[in-house]
Structure 1
């Protein structure tokens, strides 16, 4: 989830009901339920039973999780027969595999019963720093990044992200709507975590780290479908998907861009290269300015030809990467994508969302119409005098279900709330809740984003969200 530079902080909405009631980021598209494949829970495919044959699993693009301890009951007999007939190691491994459904709906606790989740990509630092005893003590006071339970929590959230986005990348095609895609992602995340988020406080244990962002073409960041509305994705669209997964307030933030037309491949490659360069440059005691300079150099070395015209790929100047703190997607440190003089250093134990945005337009965003989401201000008082009873009730609901996690109108609708816009406007006007606007470049341009979450551990950095896809 992109962070705006300080001089472009999101403006609070002080215009009453009319502005918030127009919360749709994009209008149009097909209504939900108008196509058989789009009915139900926002899925783009049929749920595959766990006891389907291997051929059926492959046809539906299922994720295979290797687990020699947990065979499905319906497969145990055939598995033993396979082992007797063949001594090939591969056959034995596949026979004991437990399969993820398509779309993903099997909780990760079933797929990983031992509670051990895949480690992220390990990158060693180019320079090893020797810490003083005082520095080691200070680092431990914040939280222990080497703590096994903490790491497994983060790795689990990252695995949820990988399995969910694999479904997106393998199943989403032109003709699907942004609402279907967003709801499919959110249903998958909640199912894999085992927290539907419908009971009070359940979504605080695990759920979406922020509203799913689905951006098309010149839409750079912070677009999410409004309730009941979505835009149909076309073959010529460049689509960015940005979503977060949190467990007990620890957030994995990762994003990718898809294009169905190879015309835009160089745009995607440029931004992916810039993000990977930022990841490679990041480390303990590395200055923010050094990471920014490396990102800019990588991205600006690319250009893309679109319909006979060549465009330089520009880093978006007023968005930044950022650190992540407990319950806060933007922790306070920002990493611009252009050269700067910020001498702030990255520190051991910090968690960063290293992301970059590239554009064929101006490389500068402006606020668009509508509202992307809302977030409870961390320094807002727990109790305050409000003129509307609906605002007081809404404030209580937000604290009990989201805390400072950013949410959107669709998430309130899932909880059964209605007629809450007046109360929401009141909370925004009193500074209790922040409203976030969609961000766009000039029409006719194309933008892309890639992002990874990493943690700066003592001897190396672990790129938690890294996968085979990006």
Structure 2
């Protein structure tokens, strides 16, 4: 970590903050989910930055990993609770940030995850343990009558890497990794009216390449050619131009080359809120790059 790298993280954060606010303001009843996803991607590329992952647009009980699919005709509805989670990078240095958008009457649930994020950030400094931060997140959410999502965590960020050490839990544990100066971390509390645990749903629109191996089917080779510039960062099925992409993706998954990211959701009828910022741990605290 040096001043030049810190500035690239901060520039990515400033851009992510602006685009997240712009994208969130466009989310209203009757708007196509695909229009929001496309507009965010356009804003990122028009600014000369890179898309770290497809915009996550997860609704109601869905907590993460949903985005527009090919030919997606879903629209936002009155009463929805929408999570918008975006990632932007500058030369591989990533800003990851999220907000919940209230299309109903979910202000208290949204405030629970937002307050938990503020609490976590206030504790982030060298020597703090991930377990203690998780305990503070849990207490902040449960005191408001909701459940923290126990099997989702915040995560470290590295160059062209979305999931580095350390993990920051949303529930308390003894000890855990120590925060160190120079760590870059995305902290993201989730608060739920459901069980506080997510499981994989049927939708899967986001994937990433996790291995390099030879493949024979031409369509599979074309997909690998399309995504090679991603450098392992996630991509959306919607982005692929290869014909018969679904069959080719199945082949690549079976061969351990591509990893799928199914939508993660709490029980039907529940609601999940999310808040997220990216921080850089400093000598005496942290810099919040996305605030």
TM-score, normalisation: structure 2: 0.95
CA pair 277-230 structure 1, distance change in 2 beyond 3 A: farther
Local SS of the residue matching 1:333 = strand
Judge conservation of contact 2:95–2:278 (CA < 8 Å) in 1: yes
Local SS of the residue matching 1:212 = strand
Matched, 1:341 2:183: no
Following superposition, the deviation at residue 440 of structure 1 comes to 0.9
Q: Match for residue 293 of structure 1?
A: 135
Partner of residue 443 from structure 1, selected from 246, 265, 268 = 268
Q: Match for residue 283 of structure 2?
A: 458
Following superposition, the deviation at residue 387 of structure 1 comes to 3.3
C-alpha RMSD of the superposition: 1.5
User: What is the distance in 1 between the residues matched to 2:132 and 2:273?
Assistant: 22
Deviations 1:172-192 (A, max 9, x none): 321112111111111111112
Following superposition, the deviation at residue 150 of structure 1 comes to 1.4
Following superposition, the deviation at residue 390 of structure 1 comes to 2.6
Task: Find runs of 4+ consecutive structure 1 residues off by over 3 angstroms.
Answer: none
Q: Match for residue 403 of structure 1?
A: 231
Matches within 5 A, 1:17-416: 144=1, 146-147=2-3, 149-193=4-48, 206-261=49-104, 263-302=105-144, 312-377=145-210, 380-381=211-212, 384-399=213-228, 401-413=229-241
Number of residue pairs matched?
291
User: What is the distance in 2 between the residues matched to 1:460 and 1:289?
Assistant: 17
Q: Match for residue 17 of structure 1?
A: none
Gaps of 5+ in 2: none
Following superposition, the deviation at residue 351 of structure 1 comes to 0.3
Query: If each structure's strand is expressed as a fraction of its own residues, which one has the higher value?
Result: 2
User: What is the distance in 2 between the residues matched to 1:450 and 1:192?
Assistant: 24
Local SS of the residue matching 1:175 = coil
User: What is the distance in 2 between the residues matched to 1:295 and 1:317?
Assistant: 11
Judge conservation of contact 1:320–1:356 (CA < 8 Å) in 2: yes
Following superposition, the deviation at residue 433 of structure 1 comes to 1.3
Judge conservation of contact 1:257–1:268 (CA < 8 Å) in 2: yes
User: What is the distance in 2 between the residues matched to 1:287 and 1:233?
Assistant: 39
User: What is the distance in 2 between the residues matched to 1:230 and 1:296?
Assistant: 36
Following superposition, the deviation at residue 339 of structure 1 comes to 1.4
Judge conservation of contact 1:257–1:450 (CA < 8 Å) in 2: yes
Deviations 1:10-29 (A, max 9, x none): xxxxxxxxxxxxxxxxxxxx
Following superposition, the deviation at residue 332 of structure 1 comes to 3.2
Following superposition, the deviation at residue 265 of structure 1 comes to 0.7
Judge conservation of contact 2:205–2:238 (CA < 8 Å) in 1: no
User: What is the distance in 2 between the residues matched to 1:300 and 1:358?
Assistant: 9
**Larger gyration radius, structure 1 or structure 2:** 1
Local SS of the residue matching 1:276 = helix
Following superposition, the deviation at residue 330 of structure 1 comes to 0.6
**Stretch deviating more after TM superposition (231-240 or 420-429):** 420-429
